[in-house]
Amino acid sequence: MKAIILEDIANIETNPLKISEVEIPKISENEVLIEIYTCGICHTDLHIVEGDIPLKKKPLILGHQIVGKVVQKGNNVMNFNIGDRVGVPWLNSTCGKCSYCLNNKENLCDNAKFTGYDVDGGYAEYNKINYNFTYKIPENFTDESAAPLLCAGIIGYRALKISDIKPNCRLGLYGFGASAHIAIQIARYWGCDVYVFSRSKKHRKLAEDLGAKWVGATNEKSPVKLDSAISFAPAGEIVPLALQNLDKGGTLALAGIYTTPIPQFEYNLIYQERCIRSVANSTRDDAIEFLKIAGLVPVKVEFETYDLKDANNALKLLKDGKINGAGVLVVK
């Protein structure tokens, strides 16, 4: 099969992703083989390529927002049939035995494996995965619009929960890329007023179109204090800015796998029971709940498509904040 291979970490400007011919994965009795239609690109892919987080496997096929069809299945696979359209997310497997797995926190599993990081992902023609970590895609999404649901969407949904948002609350979103543009639609569905902070004019326009109550630059003061906030941008300097806009008792959720260092700030920014929490991965329940609600809203996914062979270019555009909504690689 054709696949895009990362041999080692490098600046994305040097085009480190190379197209290559590799073996089609062989499945075990609990796995399905998926012929890939589309695969979303994610900031995490960029952080892996550029060494912001450690590279665990070489060579590596990136990509953890896979949409495709089941073309083979192992003997133990019960809930999927050949031809079913399925999605593969970031959480690829968990141990099922550690204290986190046993306490409904499998996103923190000591032995979790992640798609396109610990194991090969979806910048390729085929992928395999354990059927317990695979999901049917709601019918109202196309192959292109479904791919960003699988990380941008699921992580955005978990970030909403971690931010302790309640119906009809005031929510701040910092950074308005793939994840935030989906999260705003869920928050609006729950009746929340959403205040969006972004460095990009284009992204602020998209936020307005999606029903933001107010938009502004990242360092602006919000017109009212916010009950909850989420930062999707990998920029630590946003933390004190976001705390300034947070009401007493409010929670700021940090949704990225990586962020630049958080600057020192005065205690009064977090005093009055303000809270900062990071979001790490997601559980299978998050994925199931989110895909259900995404179909109900229904979430409208903004996306831009690129050929699989143009993965370097797509990640460069992502790095420069030039993609409106989500970037999706088209494989088929």
Long-range contacts of 76-79 (CB under 8 A, 24+ apart): 76/29, 76/30, 76/131, 77/29, 77/30, 77/31, 77/32, 77/131, 78/131, 79/131
R_g of the chain computed on alpha carbons: 19
Residue whose CB is less far from Zn ion, 115 or 198: 115
Q: Could you give the CA distance from residue 148 to residue 126 in angstroms, rounded to a whole number?
A: 18
Cβ distance to Zn ion smaller for residue 215 or 326: 326
What residues from 149 to 168 belong to the interface with Zn ion (CB under 5 A)?
A: 151
The least CB distance from residue 89 to Zn ion, in Å, is 8
In angstroms, the CA 88 to CA 258 distance is 22
CB neighbourhood size of 8 (10 A): 11
Positions in 106-125 near Zn ion (CB under 5 A): 109
Is residue 101 near Zn ion by the rule CB under 5 A?
A: yes
Q: Specify the residue, 195 or 303, whose C-beta has the smaller distance to Zn ion.
A: 303
CB of 87 to Zn ion, least distance (A): 13
**In 3-state terms, the chain is what percent helix, strand and coil (to 5)?**
30, 25, 45
Distance from C-alpha of 242 to C-alpha of 220, rounded to nearest angstrom: 9
When asked if residue 9 is in the footprint of Zn ion (CB under 5 A), the reply is no
Q: What is the DSSP secondary structure assignment for residue 25, as one 8-state letter?
A: P
323 makes contact with Zn ion (CB under 5 A): no
Q: Minimal distance in Å, beta carbon 222 to Zn ion?
A: 27
- Minimum Å distance from CB 100 to Zn ion? 5
- Least CB distance from residue 109 to Zn ion, whole Å? 3
- Among 22, 24, 95, 276, the residue binding Zn ion under the rule CB under 5 A is 95
Q: How far is CA 74 from the centre of its chain?
A: 28
Phi-psi region of 173 (alpha: psi -120 to 50; beta: other; left: phi over 0): beta
- Residues numbered 29-58 forming contacts with Zn ion, rule: CB under 5 A: 42, 44
Using the rule CB under 5 A, which residue among 9, 98, 224, 317 binds Zn ion?
A: 98
How many chain residues are in contact with Zn ion, going by CB under 5 A?
8
- Where does this chain bind Zn ion (CB under 5 A)? 42, 44, 94-95, 98, 101, 109, 151
